[in-house]
Every structure is written in structure tokens, then in C-alpha cells.
Amino acid sequence: MALLSVIIPLKDERDNLRPLHQRITSSLGPYCSRENRSGTTDYEIVFIDDGSIDGTDSLLQEIAGEDERVKVVILRRNFGQTPALQAGIDHASGDLIATMDGDLQNDPADLPMLADKISDGYDAVLGQRANRQDGFWLRKFPSLIANWVIRKVTDCSIKDMGCTIRVLKRNLAQSLPLYGEMHRFIPVLAQMCGGKLLQVPVLHHPRTAGKTKYNLTRTFRVILDLITVKFLYSYLTRPMHFLGSAGLLSIFLGSLSLIGTLGMKWGQGTDMTGNPLLLLSVLLVLVGVQLISMGLLGEIMTRTYFESQGKPSYLVREALNLPEREKAKAA
């Protein structure tokens, strides 16, 4: 029996909890009782209370007492959406992991459709808000720009990175390097892990209760996180290729600047000590040496990370006709 775990991080969403629970059960109850697939599917709901101060935790305890399908994880303080999401994955039991927000803007009625698409051979099926019910200047326009930049930098084809309703296979969800605020880049991280992705249109509703946690200051954090993701995506196992290339370029430019300084000295009699190009050449060469040194340190840290923990530098999708012990190693 396959199990679908619906993970919902919450922060001060008390007024949305009862309607959300009712909509999930009314959507997944009939879906999980169908017999038109191989076997049956059951479900569980994993609520993560991320340091709420409006009584969300006490209401979660009530709902868990009424519905045995509900799991509740209450964090000691507000850690952020990404750690809360990771806590949900760690405490979920499902073969399929679904995620969604707790503000009722995602529609649980889309979950059966997303879960069914997994059987078509996809590792993750992601929602795309077809008719987004948010303000244009504060939400839609910054999101359009951010999505375009992320696609260009990471070569990820997913158009709506910020849609939080999605279904992933468990092995892919557990492989995602979730820390900091990387929840915004789950499609990119899933692609980085070799997942086969599909994005489909889903419903989106306006917020009717509670307060949004979104503000424009997140834009700057997205830019910093994007640099991190790009580095992880392209250079995690070869940091010298990134830092060393920048270091060699800096040394090359510094050499050109030094040649220009010497040319001005010999051709025009310009005083080298008063020539700013001399200082520029020294600066560029020093920066180049530092970048190469950082690349070497990065290589050592990378090898320490993988070798000390016995981590392979690859991920296996499937193993066929291997002894059981070899299959366990591959998994």
C-alpha cells in the first residue's frame, strides 16, 4: 500500500487550520478509496508548527486527537520554512511526499492529479499557478523577474519556482540539500539531483485569513541564495574550476597591467611608482593567488566532506540485477 504524506509548514495560521484540514480530507478521502490503480493509496498529513504564537500549536493538538491520520511536529522556535519543510520530510512515512502552504491559497483538490502524474514516470510533479490571485507589483511582478533570472542562471525549465504545491518521490525528497532558505529552489535542487520533472497548472486562491510572510526584502536573499545554488549545481565537486578560473583571469589581467606599466616606462619615461597601473597589477595578481589558494582549500574540503562521511559523489536512480548488498549500497 502506497502512502502519500502531505507536509504543511505553518507559522501563525490558526484561522486557516480547520478549513485546510477539511479540504485535504475531502479531497484525499475519495481519491485514496479508489480501486482503479494497482493497489490502494493511503495518506497522512504532517503539520509542522514553525514557532507560531497565535495558538496554532494548541489547535493542531486538537485536530491530531480527532484524526489519527494527522501528525504534528512542533518546533521549539521559528526556524524558517526550509528547516520546517526538512522536519516534515524527516517525520513523514510516505512513498510519495506532497508539500503545500497552510494559507489556503493552494488547493488540496489538485493533490490527486499531481500524485497520479508520478505514475507516468516522473520523479516530481510541480504546480504552476495558472491564475495567480496576488497583487501585481508586490507579488506577481517580482516573481516573474525572479523566475526568469533563476531559469537563465540554472538552466532549469520550471516556470513557477514559487508554487509550493508539489508531489515528489520519497527518495528524491530525501536527497534535496535543504538548509538556509533553499525551499525557493526546490525545482532546481530536484533537477540537480537528476530528477525527472513535470510542471502542470494548478488552482490558486486569494488569502482570506492570516497575514502573508512575504515582503520585498526577500529579493536580496533570493539573489544570494541563487549564487549558492549555482555554485552547488555546477561546481560542488570541483571548486577549483570555479575559483581557479577566476584566479587565472585575475593574474592574466594583472600581467597585462604590468606590461602596460613597463611599456609606459620604457616608451614615454613615465615614473612607475606613480603609475596607478602598477598598483592595479599588484592587486590583480594578489587576488588571483588568493582565489587559487581558496580553490585548493575548497578541493580539500570537498574531499573531506565526501570521504569522511562515506558519501558518494553520485546518486543512483535504479539498480537492476545486482546482489542485495550491492543494491543497498546503490540506494
Q: What is the dihedral of CA 70, 50, 185, 16, to 10 degrees?
A: 60
Q: In what order do the strands lie in the sheet with 197-202?
A: 70-74, 41-49, 2-10, 96-99, 166-169, 124-129, 197-202
Report CA-CA distances (Å) from 111 to 40, 96, 260. Answer: 16, 11, 65
Mean pLDDT calculated for residue range 139-145: 83
Mean pLDDT calculated for residue range 50-69: 92
Which of 223, 147, 218 has the alpha carbon at shortest distance from 188?
A: 147
The pLDDT, as a whole number, for residue 216 is: 61
Decide which of 185, 210, 235 is a domain's last residue.
235
Decide which of 192, 217, 235 is a domain's last residue.
235
The pLDDT, as a whole number, for residue 128 is: 93
Would 149 be classed as within a structural domain?
A: yes
Would 317 be classed as within a structural domain?
A: no
The tally of domains found in the chain comes to 2
Mean pLDDT calculated for residue range 240-267: 91
Of residues 239 and 8, the one with the higher pLDDT is: 8
Q: Do 220 and 264 share a domain, yes or no?
A: no
- Average pLDDT over the chain reads 86
Residue 218's contacts (CB-CB under 8 Å, 6 or more residues apart) are none
Q: Do 192 and 112 share a domain, yes or no?
A: yes
Would 134 be classed as within a structural domain?
A: yes
Q: Do 231 and 271 share a domain, yes or no?
A: no
Mean pLDDT calculated for residue range 68-96: 92
Q: Which of 21-25, 122-126, 321-325 has the lowest mean pLDDT?
A: 321-325
Q: Do 10 and 116 share a domain, yes or no?
A: yes
Q: Tell me if 167 sits within 8 A of 115, measured CB to CB.
A: yes
What DSSP state is assigned to residue 209? S
Would 218 be classed as within a structural domain?
A: yes
Mean pLDDT calculated for residue range 195-203: 94
pLDDT at 134 over 90: no
Q: Do 127 and 229 share a domain, yes or no?
A: yes
The pLDDT, as a whole number, for residue 30 is: 86
Q: Tell me if 45 sits within 8 A of 21, measured CB to CB.
A: yes
Q: Which of 28-42, 132-146, 223-237 has the lowest mean pLDDT?
A: 28-42
CA distance 257 to 274: 14
Q: Tell me if 43 sits within 8 A of 28, measured CB to CB.
A: yes
Residues of the chain with pLDDT > 90: what percent?
Answer: 50
pLDDT at 36 over 60: no
Bridge-based pairing state of the strands 96-99 and 41-49: unpaired
Q: Tell me if 68 sits within 8 A of 50, measured CB to CB.
A: no
Q: Which of 124-128, 137-141, 317-321 has the lowest mean pLDDT?
A: 317-321
pLDDT at 135 over 80: no
Q: Do 156 and 300 share a domain, yes or no?
A: no
CB atoms inside a 10 Å sphere around CB 205? 14
Domain that holds residue 267: 239-308
pLDDT at 110 over 70: yes
The pLDDT, as a whole number, for residue 315 is: 63
The pLDDT, as a whole number, for residue 35 is: 46
pLDDT at 244 over 50: yes
Q: DSSP 3-state helix, strand, coil percentages of the chain (rounded to 5)?
A: 55, 15, 35
Q: Which of 138-147, 199-208, 288-297, 309-318 has the lowest mean pLDDT?
A: 309-318
Q: Do 60 and 194 share a domain, yes or no?
A: yes
Name the pLDDT band for 222 (thresholds 50, 70, 90): confident
CATH of the domain at 42: 3.90.550.10
Mean pLDDT calculated for residue range 4-29: 94
The pLDDT, as a whole number, for residue 39 is: 52
pLDDT at 310 over 50: yes
Q: Do 165 and 255 share a domain, yes or no?
A: no
pLDDT at 192 over 60: yes
Would 251 be classed as within a structural domain?
A: yes
Would 142 be classed as within a structural domain?
A: yes
Q: Which of 24-38, 180-194, 197-211, 223-237 has the lowest mean pLDDT?
A: 24-38
Q: Tell me if 127 sits within 8 A of 160, measured CB to CB.
A: yes
Q: Do 269 and 230 share a domain, yes or no?
A: no
Would 187 be classed as within a structural domain?
A: yes
CA distance 275 to 282: 12
Q: Do 51 and 147 share a domain, yes or no?
A: yes
Q: Which of 76-85, 89-98, 242-251, 271-280 has the lowest mean pLDDT?
A: 271-280
Would 291 be classed as within a structural domain?
A: yes
Q: Which of 135-144, 305-314, 317-326 has the lowest mean pLDDT?
A: 317-326
The pLDDT, as a whole number, for residue 257 is: 92
Q: Do 207 and 298 share a domain, yes or no?
A: no
